[in-house]
Structure 1
Amino acid sequence: MTIAPRHQHLDQMQPWSDRHQLLECLSATPEAPDVMTFTFRSDKDNWFRYLPGQFVTLELPVGPEPVMRTYTLSSTPSRPFSIAVTVKAQKDSVGTRWMFEKLKPGVRIRALGPLGDFTHIRHPGEKYLFISAGSGITPMMSMTRYMADVAPLSDITFINCSRGPSEIIFRSELEYLARFMPNLNLGFIVEQCGGTELWSGLKGRIDKAKIGLLAHDFLDRTVFCCGPDVFMDFVRTTLEAAGFDMARYHQESFRPASLDLAPAPVEGEEGEVRTSIRFTMAGKDVSCAPGQTILQAARGAGVRIGAACESGLCGTCRVMKLSGEVEMAHNGGILDDEIDEGYVLACCSRPKTDVQIEA
């Protein structure tokens, strides 16, 4: 006998919290060669609150010590009962290969987030140009799915670059959405075609001419760009040379802006002060040299604090500061209400006084 799943309305449920709930894998779906979408629910009765285009950091148990990997959500918050990440496995990848081999329905993992500023909600425009390459399509898909649900008349020109037709992620779904979104214009560019692949679209690498052909009014659009660093650098330079207003250009990159921390005092400099960090859960008191971050001091003492980007962007190293003062300069990896509660990012926080950290 099949038992019907319990049904609750959204207003009967609490939002998912990375401090209290885990993610449970619902499905692993192939999308393209070496590309999979992993869909998750909460291990409790929760719904997911985030902005389209944001990311999560997954804690993957690949060995004695887990690894932290950051992935953009490809799902839309307009369908809040599950979230999904779409990932491409590289030859030398560790975390993603573990996901392909071990992350099956029913497996539970820890996650942090969602976080991130790469979203049209925070950078709205009258009309959009999404430019992506490879798996950089994921935040664009999240935003497009969201607009399909809540604003189907949105004006979007969607350009995606891939190696070949079979490697275009979400191609079928995008073509389906374009049937119901009259202002969604798709432009696929492939580097080459196999001998048996039929292709009538653009070939080669992206350039100003192809951008202009697919989006003749690109100078008037708000641009979101995501892909390999070399790809994004080229798009940015091309738009700048064309006279584009770069205030309307946004790119997703886990290369953070430089942290605006005061320079560390030189050893022996007058006024140099060492501080002490008490890691309460580990039961260790650690001397922290001037200029050291909490994360650096923790590692030197063998205290484990999970970290991924180590630059104040992903929020993985968030810890509770129980007492003391720190100097923290981050790149958006922590929310204001979390700071008010006492949380800090260990990777970009330097003690100003003796501190106690819950770690």
Structure 2
Amino acid sequence: MEADDGLLVRVKPTAATLPAPGLRAVARAARDCGNGLIDLTNRANLQVRGLRHDTAGTFAATVLEHGLASADAALEEVRNVAADPLGPDDPETTFDSHAIARAIEAKLDEAQALRALPPKFGFLVDCGRTMPVPQAHADIVVRDLDGQLAIGPGGGAMLAVCRREEAPALARRLALVFLELAGPADAPPYRMRELVEKVGETAILAMAELTGRPLVSGRMDAVSVPPGNVAPGRVQPTRAAHLKLMYAPPPADSPIGRIPFAGHREGAIVAGVPRGRIDADRLAALADLSERFADATVRMTPWRALAFVPVNDDNTAAILSALADLDLITDPSDPRRHLRGPDVAPAGGAATTAETLSR
């Protein structure tokens, strides 16, 4: 996409995880090929700004070299699979969300028909217990609800219980159902929540052959209901409200700072990025910190923050001090948490883009 300051290119980490060498390479390429500014999006992606037409190819080659994108451009456009940041490192988790997210990406690769999904159509795998994803918005949701794995359409009230090994194929099935029910790509509905509003989640679950399963509330406080009984879909936000959501401050309950692991002398350190924008030099410094204090990866979150895992309690003060020196947010009471993210204005200053308005 082209904005007032040049081309915007997104880097979509698989399973919310950026290895330090890849992060360092992205930072270097952002500086050499763009204007050195990177935005964290509410889809847990990096958005590199200010590229030029003569440097975009070099940047793409760097991302591909480090395994941070697919060489298939059509697949890369729809490879929107977010996950809770801790994955298997969450000591309280029942399911490995990162393994499920990787398997969903593989299913997207296998199904050529899914290249027709809208560019913003997204999947979320949230099995986090220590650090779940707050107020998540996705088109297809896989979630651990009280020890049961469940899947369903985003924007609906109910999810269908499934086994871990079923989840990737069921996610693919729901995506294919969306394409069949949504109709022509140049007309609404553009997102799953709009389809729920149009046809009802009962129709979507039935077509995906999920209504015969136990159904649970899609909210975090899971409540079982008899198979086949589905609550009516909730009213969904308008597209204008969705655009406002894109640039809204992170949720007030999003984790920041030290997140202890119960029963362990280690935990996660979560650093917020003011307004969701960081420069290349500081991004590279975060790669260094991940190698020094954590597992040599940086975990992405949908609340414009970066997580380091696992950090031994003896190193907590040192990494928090280093993050503060980089002007990042590690105190939950920091007022910068409530700042609105930077608008991503296309060239000409319009508030919406063809990607936003069409499938």
More helix by share: 2
TM-score by length of 2: 0.29
More strand by share: 1
Q: Which has the higher contact order (CA 8 A, sep 6+)?
A: 2
TM-score by length of 1: 0.29
